[in-house]
A and B are shown apart, each in its own frame.
Chain A
Amino acid sequence: MAVHATHDLTREYRRTVPSTWWLKRRTYFLFMLRELTALFVGGYAAFLLVLLLLDQATFASVLKSPVSLVLHLIALPMVIYHSVTWINLTPKVLVIWRGEEQVSPTLILLVHYAAWGVISLAILGLAIWLCGGKTI
């Protein structure tokens, strides 16, 4: 016989989860924010692809428009939040063993932040180089 409850299961009280569960705890809210910011990461990638289809003059005028400026001001903190929370979680996912010693989670974190910085600077450098040093 499998183990079964000896009490009446129909008399158990089942609590329901409200749709506002993510407002009940700070950690839940921050998690939902992290998930939401993924839309801005994906959305901005799509926006960049569309920009690349335009000729240089339209490209510049679209970027200079007030709407684009506002979108960038919203997207930037969202993308930074997403990147920071993403990188902060990497030591939990990436556990590396060097013999009997575990590689320090702080080191894994630092390497990721360093790579983020280097790659960002490289892309910025590439963009400036492509523009021939002049602003569009």
Chain B
Amino acid sequence: MARIETTSKAVLDVFRYRPDEDSEPRFERFEVPFHEDWVVLDALHYIKDHLDGTLSYRWSCRMGICGSCGMMIDGEPKLSCSVFLRDYYPRPIRVEPLANFPVVRDLVINLEDFLDKLGQVKAWLIPKEPREAADGEYKQTPGELAHYRQYSMCINCMLCYSACPVYAKHPEFVGPAAIALAQRYNLDSRDAGFDERADAIFSHEGIWECTFVGDCTRVCPKHVDPAGAIQQAKVTATNDWFWSLLVPWGKRRSRAPAHEQNGGAAAGHRDAQQDQLVSSQSK
């Protein structure tokens, strides 16, 4: 389809950081053609194709499902493929890399910490019994699906980590998406990994670090509600703790909050778990 050419320009102030040349980042102003149907990602493509080929940023699907193009747009964590220029025009738009992560170059952040955390909470299905493909589908009722469906919508875009002031101050916090994804599997009727995830989630660095600011939920492009997931896990842990007082011989489903206040022991345990993960990856 032929595009109607426009004479008006949208202005972007883009965060630039070149690790080989700069010691400090700077902002560079670019003018791109203004189109009603252009998103910020389109403008970045224009800059890269026509103005400065060295601009670095991550993107993939352009339709809000891959979770690659998260950036700070005027200070708010957003998917740059889902933010229209027209909502800011004619004001300049400030584009920065996702907050709370180290910057590798320009708009590219180092996301390894998040990937480590997904490993810590074992954000994958740990089946109740070994199953083969020949056993057929692992069936579930619509009701069972409803319990975790919302959390399964997470696309790992890390906007929630960028919005979280707790993660900003305490990077050891397991964080919104990883805990929501742990809950996604904990609440799955086919899963039996609750105990394996307990040390990472029901710990001081896990749910008890969260102060319920709730901004993770507000910025989530997929309406996952990580803040809700964390608070509900707190309820589970607290109920278990009281239950363990009343019935000390009963089986506890999570670690008690008081028990986990011992940060050193918990961290040590997690290191061991991490080593285990690393060694299993190296095999």
Complex contacts, B281 vs chain A, CB 8 Å = 1-3
Bound form: Cα–Cα A58–B212 in Å: 41
Who on chain B is nearest to A1 by CB? Answer: B282
The answer to the question of A53 belonging to the interface, with a C-beta cut-off of 8 Å to chain B, is no
Within 9-39 of A, Cβ neighbours of B (below 8 Å) are at 9, 11-15, 17, 21-22, 24-25, 27-28, 31, 35
Please, which residues of chain A bring their CB within 8 A of the CB of B231? 89, 92-93
- The stretch among A41-49, A64-72, A94-102, A128-136 that forms the contact with chain B is A94-102
Q: How far is the CB of B15 from chain A (nearest CB, A)?
A: 9
Minimal Cβ-Cβ distance residue in A for B227: A92
- Docked CA distance A57–B44 (Å): 74
Complex: chain A residue closest to B96, CB-CB? A15
The answer to whether the Cβ of B218 comes within 8 Å of any Cβ in the partner chain is: yes
B213 touches A31 (CB 8 A): yes
Q: Once bound together, how far apart are the Cα atoms of A90 and B228, in whole Å?
A: 9
**A102–B146 contact, CB under 8 A?**
yes
In the complex, chain A residues whose CB is within 8 Å of the CB of B125: none
The docked-state distance in angstroms from the alpha carbon of A17 to that of B169 is 7
Question: Is B181 part of the binding interface, using a Cβ–Cβ cutoff of 8 Å?
Answer: no
Whether A27 and B218, one on each chain, are in contact in the complex, defined by CB atoms closer than 8 angstroms, is yes
The docked-state distance in angstroms from the alpha carbon of A31 to that of B24 is 32
Kindly list chain A residues whose C-beta atoms are within 8 Å of the C-beta of B218: 27
B87 within 8 A of A: no
- Cα-based distance from A40 to B55 in the complex (angstroms): 51
Q: Is A8's beta carbon under 8 Å from chain B?
A: yes
Whether the Cβ atoms of B75 and A100 lie closer than 8 Å is: no
Contacts A1-B282, A97-B147 given; indicate if A89 touches B214 (C-beta within 8 A): yes
Smallest CB separation, B156 vs chain A (Å): 15
Contacts of A14 in B (CB 8 A): 102-103
- For residue B112, CB closer than 8 A to chain A, the reply is yes
Interface presence of B137 (CB below 8 A): no
In contact, A27 and B19 (Cβ under 8 angstroms):
no
- Interface check B232, CB cutoff 8 A: yes
Q: Are A13 and B282 in contact (CB under 8 A)?
A: no
Interface size on B, residues (CB 8 A): 39
Q: Which of A13, A31, A97 contacts B214 (CB 8 A)?
A: A31
B241 touches A (CB below 8 Å) = no
Beta-carbon nearest neighbor of B115 in chain A: A3
Are B25 and A13 interface neighbours, CB within 8 A? yes
> In the complex the two chains form, is B168's CB within 8 Å of A17's CB?
yes
Cβ B19 vs Cβ A12 within 8 A? yes
B7 contacts partner chain A, Cβ-Cβ < 8 Å: no
Could you tell me which residues of chain A, from 72 to 96, have a CB within 8 Å of some CB in chain B? 89, 92-95
* Residues B232 and A93 in contact, CB atoms below 8 Å apart: yes
Does B143 belong to the interface (CB within 8 Å)? Answer: yes
Residues of chain A with a CB closer than 8 A to B41's CB: none
Complex Cα distance, B225 from A17, in Å, reads 25
Known: A92-B225, A95-B232. A28 touches B215 (CB 8 A): yes
Binding site for B on A (CB under 8 A): 1-3, 5, 7-9, 11-15, 17, 21-22, 24-25, 27-28, 31, 35, 89, 92-95, 97, 99-100, 102
- Chain B residues proximal to chain A, CB less than 8 Å: 17, 19-20, 24-25, 75, 99-100, 102-104, 110, 112, 115, 141-143, 146-147, 165, 168-169, 211-215, 217-218, 225, 227-228, 231-232, 234-235, 278, 281-282
23 cross-chain CB contacts under 8 A:
A2-B278, A2-B282, A5-B104, A5-B110, A8-B19, A9-B110, A13-B24, A13-B102, A15-B103, A17-B165, A21-B165, A21-B168, A25-B75, A28-B165, A28-B213, A89-B212, A92-B232, A93-B228, A94-B235, A95-B232, A97-B147, A99-B143, A100-B143
